[in-house]
Amino acid sequence: MSVTIRPLAETDRADWEERWRKYLIFYEAELPPAQMEANWARLMDPATDPHGLVAVDGGGNMIGITHYLFHASTWTMGPYCYLQDLYVDEAARGTGAGRALIEAVYAAADDAGASQVYWLTQHFNDTARRLYDRVGKTTPFIKYNRH
pLDDT of residue 1: 76
pLDDT in tens, 46-85: 999 999 999 999 999 999 999 999 999 999 999 999 999 9
pLDDT in tens, 23-51: 999 999 999 999 999 999 999 999 999 99
Cβ–Cβ under 8 Å, residues 118 and 76: no
Q: Which CATH number fits domain 3-135: 3.40.630.30, 3.40.630.10, 3.40.50.150, 3.40.50.720?
A: 3.40.630.30
Q: What is the pTM assigned to this prediction? A: 0.94
7-11, 42-46, 136-140: lowest mean pLDDT where? 136-140
Domain ranges of the chain: 3-135
pLDDT of residue 68: 98
- pLDDT of 123 strictly over 90: no
pLDDT in tens, 85-95: 999 999 999 99
Task: Give the pLDDT mean for 12-28.
Answer: 96
Burial class (CB in 10 A: 0-12, 13-18, 19+), 16: buried
Q: What amino acid is encoded at 114 in this protein?
A: A
Cβ–Cβ under 8 Å, residues 53 and 5: yes
Rg of the chain taking only CA atoms, in angstroms: 15
- pLDDT of 106 strictly over 80: yes
Beta-sheet strand order (sheet of 62-71): 3-7, 51-57, 62-71, 80-88, 116-118
Q: Is 90 helix (H, G, I), strand (E, B) or coil?
A: helix
